[in-house]
C-alpha cells in the first residue's frame, strides 16, 4: 500500500476517506468497477471514535 500524506484541513481528510475506492473485477463478467474502501457504517464508526478520542485529549 502506498503512503499518502494527509491534508491538514479536516474536511479534506474526510473527503479523502469518503471518496476512497479501489478497482475490482467481476469474476463472472470480467468487467472492472470501483468499490468504496469504507462503507457508510464504517465511516460513522471512524467518526465516532475520533469524537471519543477528542473528548479525552487535552488542548495545548
Instruction: Give alpha helix (H) positions in the chain.
Output: 10-19, 40-56
Q: What angle do CA 9, 22, 6 make, to 5 degrees?
A: 20
> Which grid cell sits at 23?
478497482
pLDDT band (50, 70, 90) for residue 6 = confident
pLDDT band (50, 70, 90) for residue 49 = very high
Domain parsing of the chain, residue ranges: 10-56
User: Which three-class secondary structure state does DSSP give residue 23?
Assistant: strand
pLDDT band (50, 70, 90) for residue 59 = low
pLDDT band (50, 70, 90) for residue 60 = low
For the full predicted model, state whether its pTM sits above 0.85: no
How much is the pLDDT for 5? 85
Supply the DSSP symbol for 2: -
Amino acid at each position: 500500500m502506498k503512503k499518502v500524506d494527509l491534508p491538514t484541513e479536516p474536511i479534506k481528510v474526510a473527503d479523502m476517506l469518503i471518496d476512497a475506492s479501489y478497482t475490482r473485477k467481476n469474476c463472472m463478467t470480467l468487467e472492472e468497477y470501483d468499490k468504496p474502501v469504507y462503507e457508510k457504517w464504517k465511516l460513522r464508526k471512524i467518526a465516532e471514535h475520533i469524537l471519543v478520542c477528542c473528548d479525552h485529549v487535552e488542548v495545548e
